[in-house]
Structure 1
C-alpha cells in the first residue's frame, strides 16, 4: 500500500482503520480486522479513484 497510495490517501486509510478498529471491537478477531480494512478502503475510495496504476484525487 505504502508505495502505491499518495501520502494523503495513506493518512485517510490509517485514520479510518484506527477509528474502525476501535468502533468494531465487539466483532470476532477475524471480523474485527477485516471490517477495519474494508472501512479504511471505503474511506480512501470516497476521496480517490484509481486511473490505471495511479491513484488520483476526485
Structure 2
C-alpha cells in the first residue's frame, strides 16, 4: 500500500537511509504502486508491493550508495 509519510516507511529504510533518500523512496514506491496495479504490467509472479519496492530502491540507488557501515550515503 502507498506510504503517506516517510515515518510510515519500513524500518529498513527509516533506520539506514538519509531523509532525502527516504523521500525519494516514498515517491518512487507510490508512483510504482499506481503504475503496476495491473498484474500484466509486472514481471513474472511479482506482487504489486514487490515491484514497487524494487522501483523505490532503484530510485534511491541513483543518488545514494550503501556504505560499509550498512547505511546509505550520497554518491
- Cα RMSD, aligned residues only: 1.4
Q: TM-score, normalised by structure 1?
A: 0.87
Structure 2 unaligned residues grouped into runs of 5+: 1-12, 41-45
Unpaired runs of 5+ residues, structure 1, are: none
Q: Higher strand fraction: Structure 1 or Structure 2? A: 1
Structure 1 distance, partners of 2:16, 2:71, is: 7
Q: Larger % of helix: which?
A: 1
Among candidates 9, 24, 36, match of residue 21 of structure 2: 9
Number of residue pairs aligned between Structure 1 and Structure 2: 57
Determine which structure has greater relative contact order: mean sequence separation of CA pairs < 8 Å that are 6+ residues apart, divided by chain length: 1
